[in-house]
Amino acid sequence: MKQGNIMTTNIRLAGFVFVLLAALMLGGATGAGTLIDIETGAVFSGYNDVRIPGKGGTLFSLSRELSSDPVAYGRLRAGHCFGGRHTVSVLAAPLRIRASGRSASAIVYAGQTFSAHTELSSHYRFDSYRITYRWDPLRRERLTAGFGFTAKIRDASISLEGGGRTSVKKNTGFVPILNFRLAWRPVGRLTTLFEGDALAAPQGRAEDVFAGLTWRLGRRVSLKAGYRILEGGADNDEVYTFSLFHYAALGAVIEL
């Protein structure tokens, strides 16, 4: 196994261990304020533009030259609130999109050249593991607002295959992001929720934002439904990749 592959594998394993250990720590604190947030639904591709390498590669789209169908997804968050205003949570949010089609022009991608009109298939993977701290300076009976920081481990890869050729670009790294949450309960058991992680910098940007409603079924369980947007990318000599995904989201929040 090549050294680069070994390093990528080790970082990926570290990400899984990171989330597992944090979840175990939270599990040890089970009690009032501990919650499990389960979300599922469908993901729809918006734009998904790729050029690898960032200088010298061919700019093409995984959602225009190629096409992809909506796919099911799942994500899981575990968190614990302490001191009334402080929350620590961990999140596992995998994403896998497959695309296929033919490009009208040749594509130079990650060291390989794919001829025009070749039947191509692609596997886009963007797995995200995060730990978040949030402080809620505003906490009232019907309105809560807070902000914080998220440490994110990104484990991503984009493969392109066709005409007897296969090329894969992998990217694993750490990204710091700002976190925010706004919840307003206008009536009874209904709450409007706006929350997410977002940050923009000269090197790129990342946004993962949910807007929707929650409905409290009982003292410990709430259902949620809404729209999630995942957008961002990077532009440098190594990679150019910017993508947008739309989520139709359903879920449940369980308080332990």
Tokens of 111: 């060291």
Predicted confidence at residue 76, as pLDDT, reads 95
Predicted confidence at residue 201, as pLDDT, reads 87
Is pLDDT above 80 for 43? yes
Q: What is the pLDDT confidence band of residue 32, given thresholds at 50, 70 and 90?
A: low
Domains of the chain: 3-255 (2.40.128.90)
Is the model more confident about 43 or about 15?
43
Is pLDDT above 90 for 12? no
pLDDT digits (tens, 9 = 90+) for 149-190: 999 999 999 999 999 999 999 999 899 999 999 999 999 999
Is pLDDT above 50 for 77? yes
Is pLDDT above 50 for 210? yes
Predicted confidence at residue 8, as pLDDT, reads 47
pLDDT digits (tens, 9 = 90+) for 133-156: 999 999 998 999 999 999 999 999
**Average per-residue pLDDT in the chain?**
89
pLDDT digits (tens, 9 = 90+) for 124-134: 999 999 999 99
- Point out the least confidently predicted range of 9-18, 40-49, 59-68, 144-153: 9-18
User: What's the Cα-to-Cα distance from 125 to each of 19, 29, 149, 151, 152, rounded to whole Å?
Assistant: 18, 33, 24, 19, 16
